[in-house]
Chains A and B, each alone.
Chain A
Amino acid sequence: MQPSPIIKMEQVVKRFPGALAVDHVDFEVGRGEVHALLGENGAGKTTLMNVLYGIHRPDSGKIFVNGREVSIRSPKDAITLRIGMVHQNFRLVESHTVCENILLGLKNLPTILKLKTAEKEIEELSKQYDLPVDPRARIWQLSMGERQRVEILKILYRGADILILDEPTSVLTPLESKHLFDFLRKMAAEGKSVIFITHKLDEVMAVSDRATVLRAGRVVGKVATSTTSKPDLATLMVGRKVLFTYERRGEASASPVLEVRDLQVLNDKGLPALKGTSLTVHAHEILGIAGVAGNGQKELAESITGLRDVSSGQVIIEGNNVSGRNAKYMIEHGVAYVPEDRINVGAPQSLSIAENLVLRTYRYEPFSKGLLLEKREIGSNAEKLISEFNIVTSSRDAITRTLSGGNLQKLILARELSGRPKLIVALYPTRGVDVGATEYVRELLLKQREGGAGILLISEDLEEILSLSDRIAVLYEGQIMGVIPAESANMEELGLMMGGALKKAA
């Protein structure tokens, strides 16, 4: 269809310790094309583009730009080849002006900056592409949308013909997104090429010419947008997986352990992360939260466990409104939390294993008496949990840093599950954990369910969600797109919800 692609990647492989991130991928983009790179989290989209941009070196495979084989060793090489990338987290110096940010690191920059000239050039560029931004403004004064424009201008100023944008709409308002799409079409019309990474199906349909769909590091589909549909894309994206089925014993009880009503919560940047989220978890039940990471998962988990302020709405545990309570209160009321960041939050690395096993319970009997710690109790607690949960370690006094990823997660689960919690919030509990430990973690959660706990399982692994959950809720842009029983879940429907293309009344 397209004569001589401007970018061609052949059989590219990128391996990370313990994971094959990009698995023999063939990828090509034509001149004047907007090309969507679609996939779930961990599908390898960003890694593939980081290879193209010179941030990662491929383990094998070839890259051709304009038909010539190239070796891209650093972003500098990529820029020389007229490739530019806008990362999901902007790389801007907040206290510098727009102009200074654009000039920083530029080759052939004169010793004495010609700020006036540069400002004028940037102004013209921004007018030409309809990307309004004041070159004299400082980054911290700008909205996320404006900052994105600065990143794009930075690339254009360097003369790029190929633009890579990583999840560009995740920080934009709907209006800003529309504006961005207009700009992307305009670029294509001028003969430049755009690659944009996304998991949102609407966007693929709205703006791209073609799409490449990745799943688990492999290309599972190359389609022309005009000949495809959202359901087709959704099926490609999530795939039809062979389901491991776990035995789920016992019926969910009728009484809710956790009720979340119309919850509104801000993220770390002060932007709305949860926009009126409501859900219910019963005893003897696992409620799986599916969705692409960054749609409010972390904020949901933190606001239920007392680690994040709630702007409005209610968190109700066993009938008591506990919104606004701190973490200590939640610990005391039987809420266990398996956090996403195991190293900085879940288990501080310089503590001994025994110390980490009482991180959230050290202040209560029998681990403390009065103001003093009961070292003997803490020690025997550790012995007990290490053998009960099969934590592989040289000793209970070993430094936590020496544990492998799987054993670190077992340590956290051992601590969180040993206190007979009523509610367990598990955020990405098997992410980055080896296969054996993953299996073990899942079994532990099922055992807790059997024992009567209510579990909120937040995961990006659909297979995990499907095989463990009683019901599945899909979170998209801070809202629940729908709740479906696991037995009747179908992939197409889930894919559409995760991509924001379908919303069912709860």
Chain B
Amino acid sequence: MALPSIRFERRLVPDRRLNSAVSISSILLGLGSTVPLFLVAGVDPVAAFQQVFSVFTTTQGVTEAVTRSIPIILIAVGLCLPFKMGFWNIGGEGQLFMGGVAATLMVLMFPDSPSIIIIPLMILFAFLAGGIWGVIPAFLKARLQVNEVLTTLMMNFIAILWVDFLVYGPWRDPQGYGFPLTVMFPLEARLPMIPGIRIHSGLLIAIASAILVYFVLSFSRWGYEIKVAGQSQSAAKYAGMSYILLTLLAMFLSGGFSGLAGMTLVSGIVMRLRHGISPGYGYTAIIVAWLARLNPIGALVAGLLFGGLLVSGDALQIGLGLAFSTVLVFQGLILLFVVGADVITQYRITVSLR
């Protein structure tokens, strides 16, 4: 029987140009594959894509896109660290919510503080809370070999339910007509707008974080250690590094950046804590980090694109009456193509007939 036999041979050297080509074509293929779906639903694909691209052509659209991309960038930048070590942090979403909780706690505890005090406090504690939420699964993995994919995933749901508990229960605004919301943050506890544009200053934090992480990974001793540990645990040990400490630190920072994302949401956009402050930024960030091949600057770019995609969801909803979840179709398809195409970047594939 002549069955085609496929051989997989690991590539010796990663091909950078191939990698970017794969990322870009995945985006195009992902978007393109929605055409049949639009046709099935009786939607004119041309009109749909016009709506999508309209986001990137108006000031308002771009402003909105950038605003939406802030939490995505923050989380994705942080994810570069544990992902480089082969630690699969799926918990960005939960770490974000815990950051939001900590930031809100600061406001509730010190409602009358001036900006100069309350904003740094919120940033610090959001980072800490997200970081701690991230360190728990890292500890379980490093000491007990507990699968981090499942623990980080489960901890997302716990964090989300915890926020629900708070806003339905002890933190509910008594004047909120029974809605599950905390009180509105005072002006002092809101992230100021960047002068001249209608985007809050979380953007600066996000950009600074991307640059910082890029520098850490490329130029610091610690970035080098992450690179070695991500390759081989025994090589790290041979080089005199502590693998456990590295894991904990990577996850503390990753969780911290996600917590920061939560802070920018409650303090820059929602101005309070409520149910569903994030429509899944933590998961979108995984796509972004993957698409950027764990390069923080790449995550900045891809994050902006995905922020735009989210806004296009609104445009499709308003313009064509489509569901917002159309965005998820884009996201899912792009990710499927990226993941599938990975085989091309990692292996040289030969098909032969026997």
Asked if chains A and B are in direct contact (CB within 8 A), the reply is yes
Answer whether residue A451 sits at the interface, using C-beta atoms and an 8 A cutoff.
no
Interface-centre pick from A350, A368, A401 (highest chain B CB count, 10 A): A350
Q: Which of B12, B228, B234 contacts A341 (CB 8 A)?
A: B234
- Given known contacts A331-B240, A351-B227, A359-B239, is B234 in contact with A371 (CB within 8 Å)? no
Complex contacts, A339 vs chain B, CB 8 Å: 238
- Given known contacts A327-B237, A327-B240, A402-B12, is B221 in contact with A359 (CB within 8 Å)? no
Answer whether residue B6 sits at the interface, using C-beta atoms and an 8 A cutoff.
no
Bitwise, B221-241 to A at CB < 8 A (1) or not (0) is 111100110011011011111
Complex contacts, A57 vs chain B, CB 8 Å: none
Complex contacts, B224 vs chain A, CB 8 Å: 355, 362, 373
Complex contacts, B227 vs chain A, CB 8 Å: 350-351, 355
Q: Is A401 within 8 A of B13, CB to CB?
A: yes
Bitwise, A367-384 to B at CB < 8 A (1) or not (0) is 010011101000000000
Q: Is B240 within 8 A of A326, CB to CB?
A: yes
Q: Is A350 within 8 A of B235, CB to CB?
A: no
Complex contacts, B219 vs chain A, CB 8 Å: 372-373, 375
Interface-centre pick from B219, B237, B240 (highest chain A CB count, 10 A): B240
How far is it, in angstroms, between the C-alpha of A372 and the C-alpha of B216 when the chains are bound?
A: 8
Answer whether residue B220 sits at the interface, using C-beta atoms and an 8 A cutoff.
yes
- Given known contacts A351-B228, A401-B13, is B221 in contact with A345 (CB within 8 Å)? no
8 Å CB interface, B192-239 against A? 219-224, 227-228, 231-232, 234-235, 237-239
How far is it, in angstroms, between the C-alpha of A448 and the C-alpha of B239 when the chains are bound?
A: 22
- Given known contacts A327-B238, A359-B239, A360-B240, is B13 in contact with A372 (CB within 8 Å)? no
How far is it, in angstroms, between the C-alpha of A186 and the C-alpha of B259 when the chains are bound?
A: 70
Q: Which of B13, B222, B234, B235 contacts A359 (CB 8 A)?
A: B235
- Chain B's interface: helix, strand, loop or mixed, by majority? helix
Complex contacts, A371 vs chain B, CB 8 Å: 220-222
Q: Is B221 within 8 A of A344, CB to CB?
A: no
Complex contacts, A313 vs chain B, CB 8 Å: none
Complex contacts, A359 vs chain B, CB 8 Å: 228, 235, 238-239
Interface-centre pick from A307, A326, A348 (highest chain B CB count, 10 A): A348
How far is it, in angstroms, between the C-alpha of A328 and the C-alpha of B228 when the chains are bound?
A: 15
Bitwise, A332-346 to B at CB < 8 A (1) or not (0) is 000001010100111
B217 vs chain A, min Cβ distance (A)? 11
Q: Is A351 within 8 A of B231, CB to CB?
A: yes
How far is it, in angstroms, between the C-alpha of A344 and the C-alpha of B232 when the chains are bound?
A: 6
B219 vs chain A, min Cβ distance (A)? 6
How far is it, in angstroms, between the C-alpha of A351 and the C-alpha of B12 when the chains are bound?
A: 12
How far is it, in angstroms, between the C-alpha of A346 and the C-alpha of B239 when the chains are bound?
A: 9
- Given known contacts A351-B227, A399-B12, is B220 in contact with A327 (CB within 8 Å)? no
B242 vs chain A, min Cβ distance (A)? 8
Answer whether residue A363 sits at the interface, using C-beta atoms and an 8 A cutoff.
yes
A267 vs chain B, min Cβ distance (A)? 15
Q: Is A373 within 8 A of B220, CB to CB?
A: yes
Q: Is B235 within 8 A of A345, CB to CB?
A: yes
A108 vs chain B, min Cβ distance (A)? 22
Q: Which residue of B lies closest to A403 (CB)?
A: B12
How far is it, in angstroms, between the C-alpha of A348 and the C-alpha of B235 when the chains are bound?
A: 7
- Given known contacts A344-B232, A348-B231, A348-B232, is B221 in contact with A401 (CB within 8 Å)? no
Q: Which residue of B lies closest to A341 (CB)?
A: B234
Complex contacts, B231 vs chain A, CB 8 Å: 348-351
Q: Which residue of A lies closest to B10 (CB)?
A: A401
- Given known contacts A345-B232, A351-B231, A399-B12, is B220 in contact with A307 (CB within 8 Å)? no
Bitwise, A173-201 to B at CB < 8 A (1) or not (0) is 00000000000000000000000000000
Complex contacts, A331 vs chain B, CB 8 Å: 240
Q: How many residues of B contact A (CB 8 A)?
A: 20
Complex contacts, A348 vs chain B, CB 8 Å: 228, 231-232, 235
How far is it, in angstroms, between the C-alpha of A312 and the C-alpha of B64 when the chains are bound?
A: 66
8 Å CB interface, A286-329 against B? 307, 326-328
Complex contacts, A372 vs chain B, CB 8 Å: 219-221
- Given known contacts A348-B232, A363-B221, A373-B220, is B238 in contact with A337 (CB within 8 Å)? yes
Q: Which residue of A lies closest to B223 (CB)?
A: A373
Q: Which of B14, B221, B239 contacts A327 (CB 8 A)?
A: B239
Complex contacts, A350 vs chain B, CB 8 Å: 14, 227, 231
A327 vs chain B, min Cβ distance (A)? 4
Bitwise, B250-282 to A at CB < 8 A (1) or not (0) is 000000000000000000000000000000000
How far is it, in angstroms, between the C-alpha of A178 and the C-alpha of B221 when the chains are bound?
A: 55
How far is it, in angstroms, between the C-alpha of A399 and the C-alpha of B235 when the chains are bound?
A: 16
Complex contacts, B241 vs chain A, CB 8 Å: 328
Q: Which residue of A lies closest to B238 (CB)?
A: A345
Q: Is B13 within 8 A of A399, CB to CB?
A: yes
Complex contacts, A349 vs chain B, CB 8 Å: 231
How far is it, in angstroms, between the C-alpha of A344 and the C-alpha of B237 when the chains are bound?
A: 11
How far is it, in angstroms, between the C-alpha of A341 and the C-alpha of B233 when the chains are bound?
A: 13
A348 vs chain B, min Cβ distance (A)? 4
A424 vs chain B, min Cβ distance (A)? 15
Q: Is A344 within 8 A of B234, CB to CB?
A: yes
Q: Which residue of B lies closest to A330 (CB)?
A: B240
How far is it, in angstroms, between the C-alpha of A359 and the C-alpha of B232 when the chains are bound?
A: 12
Complex contacts, B239 vs chain A, CB 8 Å: 327, 359-360, 362
B106 vs chain A, min Cβ distance (A)? 29
Complex contacts, A307 vs chain B, CB 8 Å: 237-238
How far is it, in angstroms, between the C-alpha of A375 and the C-alpha of B239 when the chains are bound?
A: 18
How far is it, in angstroms, between the C-alpha of A351 and the C-alpha of B13 when the chains are bound?
A: 10
A404 vs chain B, min Cβ distance (A)? 12
Interface-centre pick from B219, B221, B222 (highest chain A CB count, 10 A): B221
Complex contacts, B238 vs chain A, CB 8 Å: 307, 327, 337, 339, 345-346, 359-360
Q: Is A362 within 8 A of B13, CB to CB?
A: no
B350 vs chain A, min Cβ distance (A)? 18
A66 vs chain B, min Cβ distance (A)? 31
Q: Is A373 within 8 A of B12, CB to CB?
A: no
How far is it, in angstroms, between the C-alpha of A401 and the C-alpha of B12 when the chains are bound?
A: 6
B224 vs chain A, min Cβ distance (A)? 6
Complex contacts, A363 vs chain B, CB 8 Å: 221, 240
Complex contacts, A344 vs chain B, CB 8 Å: 232, 234-235
How far is it, in angstroms, between the C-alpha of A355 and the C-alpha of B240 when the chains are bound?
A: 15
8 Å CB interface, B1-32 against A? 12-14
How far is it, in angstroms, between the C-alpha of A326 and the C-alpha of B12 when the chains are bound?
A: 32
Q: Is B221 within 8 A of A368, CB to CB?
A: yes
Complex contacts, A375 vs chain B, CB 8 Å: 219
Q: A355-B227, A402-B12 are in contact. List 19 more A-B contacts (CB 8 A).
A: A326-B240, A341-B234, A344-B234, A344-B235, A345-B232, A345-B235, A348-B231, A348-B235, A350-B227, A359-B228, A360-B238, A360-B239, A362-B221, A362-B239, A371-B221, A373-B219, A399-B13, A401-B12, A401-B13
27 examples of A-B residue contacts, CB within 8 angstroms: A307-B238, A326-B240, A345-B235, A345-B238, A347-B235, A348-B228, A348-B231, A348-B232, A350-B14, A350-B227, A351-B231, A359-B228, A359-B235, A359-B238, A359-B239, A360-B239, A360-B240, A362-B224, A368-B221, A372-B219, A372-B221, A373-B220, A373-B224, A375-B219, A399-B14, A401-B13, A402-B13
Leading 6 A-B pairs by shortest Cβ distance: A328-B240, A348-B231, A327-B240, A348-B235, A401-B12, A344-B232
